[in-house]
Amino acid sequence: MITKEQVLQALSNVEEPDLGKDLVTLNMVKDIEIDGNKVTFTVVLTTPACPLKDMIRNACVNAIQLMVSKDAAVQVNMTANVNSNRKDGKSTLPKVKNIIVVASGKGGVGKSTVAANLALALSEGGASVGLMDADIYGPSVPIMFGVRGERPMMVNVEGKGMIVPLEKYGIKLMSIGLLVDEKQAVVWRGPMASSALRQFITDVYWDELDYLVIDMPPGTGDIHLTLVQTVPVTGAVIVTTPQDVALADAKKGIMMFSGPQVNVPIIGLVENMSYFTPAELPDNKYYIFGKEGGKRLAEDMEIPFLGQVPLVQGIREGGDEGVPVMVSNDEITKKAFIDFAGNAARSIAMRNANMAPTKIVEVAV
Ligand SMILES: Nc1ncnc2c1ncn2[C@@H]1O[C@H](COP(=O)(O)OP(=O)(O)OP(=O)(O)O)[C@@H](O)[C@H]1O
Ligand SMILES: [Mg+2]
């Protein structure tokens, strides 16, 4: 007779590698059922995009067959409850578990493309996801998602009129480009742009989300400071191309977020436009902007390297046509984004387990 105690005892030897503790201590094992030699239970991961899923499943099966019964037929169900480390239930966007900014330093390196496909990849993994376009001067979300000209609805939340995000491809979307005339925003100057952004953030009704991905404008300016002072940012994903000029600006971005003034954790760095592979020569990689510059920068700055995204015509076309590559059938390119999103989700989960609660930044400017 196999007992639940034996199963738990065996699983207390299985470590969640990122969190450095065993599954039982972390309270990740649920719903154990035993029927003869059939053992079924659920492991609740900290993110549905967890790249270690298969490894953890195999470790569970091995532990039970080794320590309980070699004839046990083990079925491990995997679910996820995305972790969060917000302790500020009353502050801005209280029901959003993780607020992730996508930033670079240099313009045009692919922040908006990466932010959109990151949001879609996290959602494909089973998480509830929103994408906010914080680029006041050059919003991209309306075009990338083919929702230009659509106007969001309003809803009354506890006596306050709030903006309801649009929904497309399974994620919630909002861009200042959907609220104001496209020509109007470009004439805003510093303080006006900052107050527009602040109002925009607090007036959108995101409701419950596992991840809110924020697409930032280029640079390291006022808008960035306004954002970190308005919402408690969980962490920043930095985008760069392998080129020296982009790397120098990415470094500035990393220093701004991780510096003592702002102190937002860096989730990691993703290298975009890493190489080009022609369709007729699928084994060739051409390093047009230099090789692995992003990877080296991540090593130098001691931040996680989250992956490489190739230069692909379909990424550009998809962006222009309102069909991001994550909803296309280009499986090779999708895999690059899924791997990147998995690494990002993993880094976020570790950040939540190991670091101080997220809070709004108070900066003296
Ligand atoms: N990996 C890629 N392969 C091909 N084209 C890409 C790739 N990444 C981005 N692009 C294209 O490059 C252009 C710039 O990308 P994107 O708008 O995402 O950059 P950005 O960093 O958000 O720019 P900005 O600083 O203006 O906000 C877009 O036309 C986009 O479709
Ligand atoms: Mg952009």
| Model confidence pLDDT, tens digit, residues 73-95 | 999 999 999 988 877 556 788 89
Output the CA torsion sign for 185, 189, 191, 194: positive
Left (φ > 0), alpha (ψ -120 to 50) or beta: where does 332 sit? alpha
pLDDT mean over 16-42? 94
Can you give the pLDDT at residue 235? Answer: 96
**CA 151, CA 163: separation in Å to the nearest integer?**
10
Residue 279 has pLDDT above 80, yes or no: no
| pLDDT level of residue 363 (50, 70, 90 thresholds) | low
CB count within 10 Å of CB 108 equals 10
Quote the pLDDT of residue 86. Answer: 79
Reported as a single tens digit per residue, the pLDDT across 253-262 is 999 999 888 8
User: What architecture (CATH level 2) is domain 96-354?
Assistant: 3-Layer(aba) Sandwich (3.40)
pLDDT class of 353 with cuts at 50, 70, 90:
confident
* Predicted confidence (pLDDT) at residue 189 exceeds the cutoff of 80: no
**Domains in the chain: boundaries:** 4-80, 96-354
Lining ligand 1 with CB less than 6 A are: 104, 107-113, 135, 138, 140, 217-218, 272-273, 309, 311-312, 315-316, 319
Q: Which residue has the tokens 């993994």?
A: 125
Q: pLDDT tens digits, residue range 217-262?
A: 988 888 888 899 899 999 999 999 999 999 999 999 999 999 888 8
Ligand 1 atom with the shortest distance to the CA of 109: 21
Mean pLDDT of the region 99-111: 94
- For residue 195, is pLDDT > 90? no
- Mean pLDDT, rounded, for 51-68: 94
In the structure, what pLDDT confidence band is assigned to residue 185 with cuts at 50, 70 and 90? Answer: low
Is the distance from CB of 104 to CB of 249 less than 8 angstroms? yes
Ligand having the closest approach to the CA of 116? 1
Q: Is the pLDDT of residue 182 over 90?
A: no
pLDDT (0 to 100) of residue 186? 62
Q: Is 361 annotated as a binding residue?
A: no
**pTM of the predicted structure, to 2 decimals:** 0.91
Whole-number pLDDT of residue 262: 87
Helices (H), the chain: 4-11, 53-67, 111-124, 141-144, 182-185, 190-202, 222-230, 244-258, 293-301, 313-321, 331-354
- Among 102, 104, 112, which is best to mutate for testing ligand 1, by the most ligand atoms less than 8 A from CB? 112
Calpha distance 253→262 (Å, rounded): 11
Identify the pLDDT of residue 188. Answer: 67
Judged against a pLDDT cut of 90, whether residue 18 lies above it is answered with: no
Q: What confidence score (pLDDT) does residue 90 get?
A: 63
Q: Is 335 labelled a binding residue? A: no
Its CATH class, for the domain covering 4-80, is: alpha beta
pLDDT band of 24, cuts 50, 70, 90: very high
Beta-carbon count within 10 A of 255 CB: 14
What is the 167 CA–ligand 2 centroid distance (Å)? 20
Name the pLDDT band for 361 (thresholds 50, 70, 90).
confident
Instruction: Give the per-residue pLDDT at 364.
Output: 54
Question: What's the CA gap between 337 and 333, in Å, rounded?
Answer: 7
Mean pLDDT within 2-13: 96
